[in-house]
Amino acid sequence: QARSRGAAAAGAEEFGGWVGGGGDSTAAFSVCSDFEDSYPPERLRAEGGEGGLVEPLLAARAVEVEVIVTRTVPLIGWAIIFSALFASASFGFAFGFIGPGPSGVLILAWRYQAVSVMFFPLVLLALLTDPRAKSSLADREVWVQLLTAAAGSCFQSSCFCLALASTTPANACMFNNLTPVLLLAKKVFGGLPLETLELVGATVALLGGMVVALSAPPATTAGAGSPMVGNGIALMGSAGAAVYLLSNAQLRTQMPAHFQFGLVNLLAAIFAFLLVVSGLLGPCPPFDASRAGLFGWVRLEGDRLLVAGYIALVADGVGAMGFLACLKYFPPLTISVVILLMPIASTLEGVVSGLKQAPDALSTVGALTLMCGTFSVVLAASDARTEKIDATAALSDPVQAAAAPTLPSADKLPVDIGNWSSTKRKPHGLEVAAKSGMR
C-alpha cells in the first residue's frame, strides 16, 4: 500500500517489498506540494535514470517513508527460548560436580573466564568478517551498554553468592530472580502500556516461583548473618539482572548475538577478576592454576576443565546466549519470567536422569502455578504487534552513499534492519537500498 500525490508516486507501490521476512509491511510516501512544482511529471520521468529521482527527493526532504511492520514470533524463536531454558537449568548439575575448595565467587570468576576464552575466536571472526560487528564498536553508546550489561550480570551473580552467607539457597534463588517485578515497575513508571496478560501472568508466575522455592528441602545457612540481610542482598541482585536484560535488548539490534555475548562475558570476566582480587567477598585466591587458584578451572581434571567446558559451551553457550538471542523476538519481561521456570526444568532433568526424586505435592502445585503464569506472559508477547517506523532518514543514507555496507542510522530505529549491502533498480528510476530480509 502506498499513498502519494502527483507523479512522484511512480514506482512507490513496489517499495512495499523493502522489508523481507518478519511480517507484513507497507510503505507510505507523502510528497510536498512545492516539490511537485519544482519536479513536474515530465522532469521526473526524464531524470529517472541512475537515481535521478530519489536523490533530489531526499535532498529536498520531500519524501517521507513510513514503514508499517507487523511483528510476530517465528518458530525459531520458540525453539531457541526452550532450548536455552533446559540448557541453563543444567548448570546446577555441572556445579555439583565441582569438587570442594573453591568459593562461590571464585567459581563465578571461573565461569566468566571459561566463556570468554571459548568465545574469543568467534568474537575475533566476527570482527574480521561481519561489517556490523566492526562498525558497532565505533559507537560510544554501544560501549556504554556493553559495560552496563556486563556489570549487571556480575552484580547479580555476586549478590547471589554473598546472600548465601546469610540466608538459605532457596531464599537466595527466589529473591535473586524477582526481575519481572522490577521490569513491570519500570513499564508502569515509564508510562508504557501494560497488558493485562502480562500483569496477571507475571504475578501468578512469581507466586508459583515462591511456592517452588519455599518447598525446597531446608538447608542450613553458610554463615551467622541475618536472613533478612541475605534476602535483601539477593533482591538487589535481581536489579542487576534487569539491567543486564535491558542493556542487551538495546544491543541486540547493533551486532550479532555471539559477538555481543562474547564481549559482555569478556567485560564481566574483568569485573569478576577485580572483585575476587579485591578480597571484598572473601580471601584472595592464589594467582595460579591450583585447585583453588584464580585459574584453577584450566586443570586437566574431570571436575575442573571438563566441567568448565560444559558450563561455557552448554549452560552458557546454549542457555545464556540463547536467552540473549531471544531478545530479538521477546521483550525482556518475557525472558525474565521464562527464567523462573529453571527450577522446574532442572527438576525434570534430574528425575529423567535418575539424579533426583519426583517433587512432592506442594512443589507440584507451585510448578503448575508458575507454568500457568509463564504461559500467560509468553502468550501476551507472542501476539502480533504492529509498529510504525519513520525510515526517512534511514533511507537517505544508503541512497546517497550506497557503498556503505551498514546503515549508519540503524541504531535510531526500534527494529533491526540489518545490513544494506546492495541497491535494486525499481521502475521509473526509483532506486532504493535493497535488503535480503528483515532480522
Bigger pLDDT: 302 vs 326:
326
CA torsion, ordered 402, 407, 413, 414, to nearest 10 deg: 130
Mean pLDDT to the nearest integer, 161-190: 84
Confidence band, pLDDT 50/70/90 cuts, at residue 58: low
| Cα three-residue angle 18-24-27, rounded to 5 degrees | 45
Mean pLDDT to the nearest integer, 46-50: 49
Model pLDDT, residue 63: 62
Bigger pLDDT: 199 vs 144:
144
What pLDDT, in 10s, does the model give residues 76-97?
888 999 999 999 988 877 877 8
Total residues found in the chain within this entry? 439
Q: At what angle do helices 75-89 and 332-339 cross, to 10 degrees?
A: 40
Confidence band, pLDDT 50/70/90 cuts, at residue 377: confident
Which helix H or strand E contains 422, and what residues bound it?
strand 422-425
What is the longest distance spanned by two Cα atoms in the chain? 86
| Burial group, residue 16, by CB count within 10 angstroms (0-12, 13-18, 19+) | middle
What pLDDT, in 10s, does the model give residues 259-283?
999 999 999 999 999 999 988 877 8
Residue 352 neighbours by CB under 8 Å, 6+ apart: none
DSSP string, 395-413: HHHHHHTTT-SB-GGGGGS
Question: Which range, of 153-167, 271-285, 371-385, averages the lowest pLDDT?
Answer: 371-385
What pLDDT, in 10s, does the model give residues 1-40?
333 333 334 443 333 333 333 444 334 344 444 444 555 5
Model pLDDT, residue 40: 55
Confidence band, pLDDT 50/70/90 cuts, at residue 200: confident
The 3-state DSSP class for residue 84 equals: helix
Nearest-CA neighbor of 202 among 185, 174, 181? Answer: 181
Say if pTM beats, i.e. exceeds, 0.75: no
Beta-strand relationship, 63-71 and 25-31: antiparallel
Does pLDDT of 293 surpass 80?
Answer: yes
DSSP string, 177-194: T-HHHHHHHHHHHTT---
Q: Are 378 and 85 in contact (CB under 8 A)?
A: no
